[in-house]
Amino acid sequence: EIVMTQSPATLSVSPGERTTLSCRASQSVSSNLAWYQQKPGQSPSLVLYGASTRATGFPARFSGSGSGTEFTLTISSLQSEDFAVYYCQQYHIWPYTFGQGTKLEIK
Amino acid sequence: QVLLQESGPGLVKPSQTLSLTCTVSGGSISDVDFNWNWIRQSPGKGLEWIGYIYFTGSTYYNPSLKSRVTISADTSKNQVSLKLTSVSAADSAVYFCARDSASSLTYFGFDVWGQGTSVIVSS
């Protein structure tokens, strides 16, 4: 199976700052990558798919890039509601697999 | 608005069978555009995709769980079910049902999730 590795595990950032989260796949997944946001006690919410297409409800400050094995999720100006855990997921090959998550916390 | 609601026992004894149900409202599991998935989340293993079912009954399971998993659908009740046999403490997790696209051409990830149900395996 494809192993997804996210870095860093925790990111401390101040509101208003720009931040970038990374995700690496153990083999190419083309652009078949999604990002999810999960807040405490909630289920994950789809943020991006196709590596860079925003899902419904997520503002333009969320953007994604990458293809093959290296991907990034960038949040241009962090708002209080953005502090959460973010997961990447590949849907290139079954079984679909998730990264272990990056926790975005307030500095 | 499509809503998913998981239900089932919160406590299962080791070696027994875990049985969960996902009730879909605001949409139909017979919709040709979607698969219905089970995903679990545990502190030790993170998010793990278990498998999916299409309304025709077609299924696909994670090879790591395939020998123990059955996903079925009841279109009359608009429900999807998960059975996991011979459970151990390693199967303790929050179990989610989630929807994704049945088409690889218009795939968009897991766009609708249930709230999840916690299952603990313990005697």
Answer yes or no: is pLDDT of B111 > 90. Answer: yes
User: Is the predicted pLDDT of residue A82 greater than 80, yes or no?
Assistant: yes
A55: Cβ contacts below 8 Å, ≥ 6 apart: A45, A46, A47, A48, A49, B108, B109, B111
Distance of CA B110 to the CA centre of its chain: 12
Task: Map tokens 């996903």 to a residue.
Answer: B71
How high is the pLDDT of residue B103?
85
pLDDT-derived band at A4 (thresholds 50, 70, 90) equals very high
Give the residue among B67, B70, B32, B34 at the shortest CA–CA distance from B51: B70
What does the pLDDT average to over B24-38? 95
Choose among B118, B110, B53: nearest CA to B92: B118
Mutate which: B110, B111, B115, vs A, most A CBs within 10 A: B110
Strand partners, A88: A35
- List pLDDT tens digits, range B79-93: 999 999 999 999 999
Residues of chain A with a CB closer than 8 angstroms to some CB in chain B? 1, 32, 34, 36, 42-46, 49-50, 53, 55-56, 87, 89, 91, 94-101
pLDDT at B44: 81
pLDDT of residue A43: 97
Q: pLDDT band for position B108 (50/70/90)?
A: confident
Whole-angstrom distance, CA of residue A23 vs CA of residue A72: 6
Across B22-39, average pLDDT: 96
- Is the Cβ pair A42, B47 closer than 8 Å? no
Distances (CA, A) of B68 to A13, A58, A60, A93, B63: 43, 37, 42, 21, 10
Q: Answer whether residue B71 shows pLDDT above 90.
A: yes
CA-nearest of B36, B19, B18 to B27 is B36
